[in-house]
Amino acid sequence: MTTDSAPTESYVFQGTINKKMPQVLRGKGVRMTIKKDGKVYEDVIDGVTGAAVGALGWGDEEVLPIINKAASENTYSFPSLIGNQASEDLAKFYIDSSPKGAFSAALWCCSGSESNENALKIIRQYQQERGRPEKIKIISRDTSYHGFTLGALSISNCSRFNAFKEICIPQELCLKMPACYPYRYQKKGETEEEYSQRLLDTLEKMIVDNDPNTVSCVIVETLPGSSLGTAPPPKGYLPGIRALCNKYDVIMMLDEVMCGTGRSNPNGKLNCWENFLDPKDAPDIQTVGKTLGSGYVTIAGVLVGPKIRQAFVEGTNSVFGAQTYSSHGFNCAVALEIQKKIARDGLTANIFKMGNLMGEKLQKALLSEDNIVGDVRGIGGFWSLEFVKDRATKEWFPVELDVGHRFQDICFQNGLNVMGMQGNADGHNGDISLLAPAFVITEKDVEDIVEIVIKSVGQLSKELKTEGKW
């Protein structure tokens, strides 16, 4: 650790306004150098890669030539007038890397929020194209997050939505079904399948009560992340949603912005839903982002299934509206080469194995000791810890203790970057911490992460006990 006297005043309108956020100086693989409050911290292990963004790890030496080539070969054009081959190639790559027949087209944009905005508009136009304009209601979930733009917030339900709900899409159109959250809501004695069925019965009732002729789509995060924290769906849940969507002629949309594109895929490929759904039960439309560009380019996308594409082709054969930087050739070219490298090096298989190893080690160590961790859950490269005051009752800590962020600070002081969050239990209460390391992690990195997490949990538990708060 070294110190310097750089000014701390900030000109960036983000996070804390009048004070510089911790600054990243550089990164190499799964480690980074960060300047915080004038001190430089070397070799911080990046346990969460920003917001589950990094797949390759930082400073990958193959990426620089990829970027140079993409910059020299791509000229900007406005995508709805003049296209580019890189966006075509990336779309074909994603389609070919997904189960056969799942997707047949893709739209590329610059953030997960935008991808969900675009998906909502595509679904709206789909219903118009096929002569069902009265289908306008969207069903998503309690305790969900789909992005920070107003449309994406309207289908979310969390503290970020609460802060802006008065200016969001009226909630009569954006209905919310219960969260799928086994740790808190699966009843004692209820099997996974029974819990799924209870949720599905509620969804079906919601569709019927709201007139199926007016219901357009159901949207869920395959594996929720920055909402309630990586709770894998129980057996039968996603297939059940698929069946209800088929029954009532409703679009099934999955948001895989955070959990997808290799982060939690069991087959060395891309989609998280392949853990839970047969290829024949693929979603009709899906959003992706984050690891697609692995932090090197700002790219996200909407994958469009054959049913939706066909309705457009048989209708107006055009997508209404466009954004200046959709299908950005440079971004697409870089993302494609990054994805090819991930596939070539078997990195998705690596993170699935290493991530599960990390999760199992944490479950074993943390849940067998007396500490503030109530649950350790996740799959592949995406895990979270949930903190509780009382394991038996699952009572959460008072909000003002800000346990999630306090845990994040302790981990940082111990040399590990994690993301602490609050509001997982009901949009306001509850503390979690997310882990989403780069796909390149080794067994040694896993051991280092696990060691620091265990140490930090012990430290925070002890502090809270000393303060009389636990």
Ligand X SMILES: Cc1ncc(COP(=O)(O)O)c(C=O)c1O
Binding site for ligand X (CB under 6 A): 51, 111-113, 116, 145-147, 221, 225-226, 255, 257-258, 289, 300
Minimum CB–partner distance for residue 214 and ligand X (Å):
25
Minimum CB–partner distance for residue 175 and ligand X (Å):
18
Alpha helices by DSSP H, listed for 97-148, are: 112-129
Of 263 and 389, nearer to ligand X (C-beta) is 263
DSSP 353-413: HHHHHHHHHHHHHHHTSSSSEEEEEEETTEEEEEE-SBTTTTBPPPGGG-HHHHHHHHHHH
Minimum CB–partner distance for residue 47 and ligand X (Å):
16
Minimum CB–partner distance for residue 160 and ligand X (Å):
10
Of 157 and 461, nearer to ligand X (C-beta) is 157
Asked if residues 49 and 436 have their Cβ atoms less than 8 Å apart, the reply is yes
Minimum CB–partner distance for residue 221 and ligand X (Å):
5
Of 362 and 421, nearer to ligand X (C-beta) is 421
Of 125 and 291, nearer to ligand X (C-beta) is 291
Of 294 and 461, nearer to ligand X (C-beta) is 294
Minimum CB–partner distance for residue 368 and ligand X (Å):
31
Residues in contact with 85: Cβ distance below 8 Å, sequence separation at least 6, in sequence order? 329
Minimum CB–partner distance for residue 250 and ligand X (Å):
20
Minimum CB–partner distance for residue 260 and ligand X (Å):
9
Minimum CB–partner distance for residue 366 and ligand X (Å):
24
Asked if residues 305 and 285 have their Cβ atoms less than 8 Å apart, the reply is yes
Q: What is the distance in angstroms between the CA of the first residue and the CA of the last residue of the chain?
A: 32
Minimum CB–partner distance for residue 386 and ligand X (Å):
17
Of 221 and 445, nearer to ligand X (C-beta) is 221
- Cα distances (angstroms) measured from residue 214 to each of 154, 248, 311: 18, 10, 18
Minimum CB–partner distance for residue 120 and ligand X (Å):
12
Residues in contact with 228: Cβ distance below 8 Å, sequence separation at least 6, in sequence order? 143, 144, 179, 181, 424, 425, 430, 432
Minimum CB–partner distance for residue 352 and ligand X (Å):
19
Return the closest-CA partner of residue 394 out of 187, 193, 221. 187
- Alpha-carbon distance of 338 to 335, in angstroms, equals 5
Say how many C-beta atoms besides its own lie within 10 A of residue 13's C-beta. 6
Residues in contact with 456: Cβ distance below 8 Å, sequence separation at least 6, in sequence order? 407, 410, 411, 414, 416
Asked if residues 255 and 140 have their Cβ atoms less than 8 Å apart, the reply is no
Of 421 and 457, nearer to ligand X (C-beta) is 421
Bin 405: left if φ > 0, else alpha if -120 < ψ < 50, else beta.
alpha
Of 177 and 349, nearer to ligand X (C-beta) is 177
What single letter denotes the amino acid at residue 276? F
Of 271 and 371, nearer to ligand X (C-beta) is 271
Return the closest-CA partner of residue 263 out of 147, 379, 116. 379
Of 116 and 384, nearer to ligand X (C-beta) is 116
Asked if residues 122 and 303 have their Cβ atoms less than 8 Å apart, the reply is no
Of 113 and 422, nearer to ligand X (C-beta) is 113
Token pair for 306: 């054959």
Asked if residues 427 and 179 have their Cβ atoms less than 8 Å apart, the reply is no
What single letter denotes the amino acid at residue 244? L
- Alpha-carbon distance of 444 to 371, in angstroms, equals 25
Compute the residue count for the chain: 470
Of 177 and 457, nearer to ligand X (C-beta) is 177
Q: Which residue is nearest to ligand X (CB)?
A: 112
